[in-house]
Amino acid sequence: MRVAATLRVEKLGMSFGGLKAVDEVDLEVPAGKITAIIGPNGAGKTTFFNVVAGLYTPTAGRVFLDDRDVTGLRPHQVARLGVARTFQTTQLFPAASVLDNVIVGRCLHTRSNVFDAVLRSRRHRREEEESRQKALEALEFTGARELADVLVANISQEARKRVAIALALATEPRVLLLDEPAAGINPHETQGLTDLIRAVAVERGITVCLVEHKMRMVMDLSDHVAVLNYGRKIAEGPPARIRNDPTVIDAYLGAEHGA
């Protein structure tokens, strides 16, 4: 198992033409802890994730994984260093089984090439079996083991959320980025997902950073909360402080204050 990493950004900026989606953000996501990033729609939260995961190259600032500068690396390079990411709209292959979807996450750790596959080499067979076992372990951990042979097209939205997390876990991440993991599921399912995310940090020792709009979940789950508004960080601290911060209430929480 990999050791959890600290994710840190310094003066991070991402502009699209004249629009500053992320504007000089300084933030540290401590190793093994759960950090939430909140803010209104358009605050720059998903763009922040896209920069950290390598989908965008920042127009300013730096991204560090522990003390390693990973600024500008491509997504597959960032993933190999231990950063996994889920999306608000679950990115799975609907025509494939749940197990096959999760096995995809093991590709980062296999060395077999096309010739190994054609010849069914010893290395290919060994890696194929290891990938299957690791995928099943990830499904067991996320509570989706019984769905292994079911097509993704035939499972619920809540189950897809768990499978997406299992796929991310199969990459053996040091940092897990969760983009609105509870979007589109009911309160009971949200509580179950909250428990799972907590277990990822506590039992697996993985650093978790999530973007989420469900404030009850954020305040219950997070060790630390950062607030973005118009691309800038306007506050950060423990949930109790953020819940009662006048600037945050005015900019975002509003009627949800205390929810």
Instruction: Report pLDDT digits (tens) over 129-153.
Output: 888 999 999 999 999 999 999 999 9
Any domain includes 229: yes
Any domain includes 234: yes
Any domain includes 244: yes
Q: How many CA atoms lie within 13 A of 53 on its CB side?
A: 19
Q: Rounded to whole angstroms, how far apart are CA atoms 245 and 236?
A: 10
Q: Show the domain range for 238.
A: 7-82+173-256
Strand ranges inside 66-142, DSSP E = 68-69, 83-86
The burial class, CB within 10 Å (0-12 / 13-18 / 19+), for 152 is buried
Contact (CB, 8 A) for 141 and 50: no
Q: Which of 177, 182, 145, 189 is nearest to 163 (CA)?
A: 145
| Tokens at 94, concatenated | 């609907």
Number of domains composing the chain? 1
Any domain includes 122: no
Q: What is the pLDDT of residue 101?
A: 93
Contact (CB, 8 A) for 223 and 23: no
The DSSP bridge pattern shows strands 7-16 and 60-65 to be antiparallel
Any domain includes 52: yes
Q: What is the pLDDT of residue 54?
A: 95
Of how many residues is the chain composed? 259
Say which residues have a Cβ less than 8 Å from residue 80's Cβ, sequence separation at least 6: 108
Q: What is the pLDDT of residue 4?
A: 86
Positions of the chain with pLDDT lower than 70, given as ranges: 1, 108-121, 123-125, 127, 253-259
Any domain includes 95: no
DSSP, res 151: B
CATH classification at residue 30? 3.40.50.300
Any domain includes 121: no
Torsion sign over Cα 170, 171, 176, 181: negative
Any domain includes 140: no
Q: What is the pLDDT of residue 259?
A: 35
